[in-house]
């Protein structure tokens, strides 16, 4: 069955994708959004969002995304609950093959597939996610005023999260698997000078405690050199061991940096004309709901201009 050629297809339904959909739908471009594996994106895995402007009392992440989806639908956005299997972006008509086997065609595409936080891989980490285990200090730090916390990782993200969390926490243990940090010198120096941060070197979190109570009560830490174990009594464990941008399906056609983040120029333009990218699959610096939404808006406006330049 031959597919119609759509004006724009948006891949991903998080803050960036849904914002792009609202804008493109209001511009009568009849966008189709491919939901992906996690409709609503990373915000659906968080609890209360207190820093999205316009919600002085805060709003639950899933509700925020549900509202954005309804807003996009109100102006005619269509959704398909599927994932991208492969793409062919070479010609003027962009081809997207879904996991179901269906092939979609469009004049323009916005990639807004987000990024997935990496996890340590513990059973207890999954069970206590959102109940003391978090991958986002900016989102959840304020819930831990006066608490003792752990941050896992030794890169810029971990150091940034640890520094940020000291605004709220009594103490932050930075548990790192080696005896030196991967983070940039300037970030390291800041953390090493911070009296609220205690470094736990050569160590791994091997169990997060709290299953009986249902929230984090502590963590078992193993020294990887001596095999000694100890319990740290903490109320939160922030896992900051990196994110993986969801860009694999688009490489090598779409240029990415060495970590897989999609490279854009002139706003949201990728290396292929007619293909734009926005949100956490592009941005490893800010990674906020509001910045992803802002980039989604930019991508939608870039699509409008691109289609107009083609006389479409
Ligand atoms: P990253 O640089 O890849 O660092 C990940 C850290 O987690 C490393 O220290 C790594 O240990 C550790 N790690 C990885 N897997 C682990 C596991 N399974 N268990 C325990 N520890 C594990 O990731 P990132 O910190 O998210 O940074 C990503 C990129 O964004 C970097 O280019 C960074 O510079 C940039 N960034 C910049 C800023 C900023 O400039 N403000 C802020 C955040 C991120 P090893 O060191 O032993 O490999």
- Report strand pairing: 84-88 vs 78-80: unpaired
Q: Is 117 helix (H, G, I), strand (E, B) or coil?
A: strand
Nearest CA to 46 among 165, 163, 137?
Answer: 137
Q: How far is the CA of 165 from the centre of ligand 1 (A)?
A: 17
| Average pLDDT over every residue of 104-132 | 95
Is any ligand 1 atom within 6 A of the Cβ of residue 178?
yes
Residue of 139, 256, 281, 297 with catalytic role: 139
Please state, rounded to an integer, the average pLDDT across all residues of the chain: 95
pLDDT tens for each residue of 218-257: 999 999 999 999 999 999 999 999 889 999 999 999 999 9
Q: How far is the CA of 155 from the centre of ligand 1 (A)?
A: 3
Nearest CA to ligand 1 atom 35: 156
Is any ligand 1 atom within 6 A of the Cβ of residue 120?
yes
Is 140 among the residues known to form the active site? Answer: yes
Q: How far is the CA of 71 from the centre of ligand 1 (A)?
A: 36
Is 139 among the residues known to form the active site? Answer: yes
Q: Which two tokens stand for residue 257?
A: 């940096």
pLDDT tens for each residue of 2-52: 579 999 999 999 999 999 999 999 999 999 999 998 899 988 866 778 889
pLDDT tens for each residue of 196-222: 999 999 999 999 999 888 999 999 999
% of the chain beyond a pLDDT of 70: 99
Burial class of residue 270 (count of CB atoms within 10 Å of its CB; 0-12, 13-18, 19+): buried
Q: How far is the CA of 261 from the centre of ligand 1 (A)?
A: 14
Is the pLDDT at 276 greater than 70, yes or no?
Answer: yes
| Average pLDDT over every residue of 74-103 | 97
């Amino acid at each position: 069955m031959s597919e119609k050629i759509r004006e724009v297809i948006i891949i991903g339904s998080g803050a960036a994708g849904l914002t792009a959909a609202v804008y493109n739908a209001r511009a009568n471009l009849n966008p189709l959004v491919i939901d992906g594996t996690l409709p609503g994106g990373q915000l659906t895995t968080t609890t209360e969002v207190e820093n999205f402007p316009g919600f002085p009392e805060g709003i639950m992440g899933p509700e925020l995304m549900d509202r954005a989806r309804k807003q996009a639908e109100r102006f005619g956005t269509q959704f398909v609950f599927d994932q991208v299997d492969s793409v062919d972006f070479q010609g003027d008509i962009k081809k997207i093959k879904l996991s179901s086997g269906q092939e979609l065609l469009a004049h323009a595409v916005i990639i807004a597939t987000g990024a997935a936080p990496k996890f340590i891989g513990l059973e207890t980490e999954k069970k206590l996610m959102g109940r003391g285990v978090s991958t986002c200090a900016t989102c959840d730090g304020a819930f831990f005023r006066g608490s003792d916390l752990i941050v896992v990782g030794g890169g810029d993200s971990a150091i940034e999260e640890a520094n940020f969390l000291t605004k709220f926490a009594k103490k932050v243990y930075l548990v790192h698997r080696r005896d030196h940090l991967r983070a940039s010198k300037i970030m390291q120096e800041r953390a090493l000078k911070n009296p609220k941060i205690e470094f736990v070197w050569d160590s791994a979190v091997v169990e997060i405690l709290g299953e009986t109570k249902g929230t984090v009560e502590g963590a078992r830490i193993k020294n990887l050199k001596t095999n000694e174990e100890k319990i740290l009594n903490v109320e939160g464990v922030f896992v900051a061991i990196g994110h993986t941008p969801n860009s694999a399906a688009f490489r090598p056609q779409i240029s990415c940096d060495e970590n897989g983040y999609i490279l854009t120029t002139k706003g949201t333009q990728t290396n292929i004309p007619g293909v734009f990218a926005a949100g956490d699959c592009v941005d490893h610096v800010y990674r906020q709901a509001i910045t992803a939404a802002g980039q989604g808006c930019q991508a939608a406006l870039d699509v409008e201009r691109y289609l107009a330049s083609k006389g479409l």
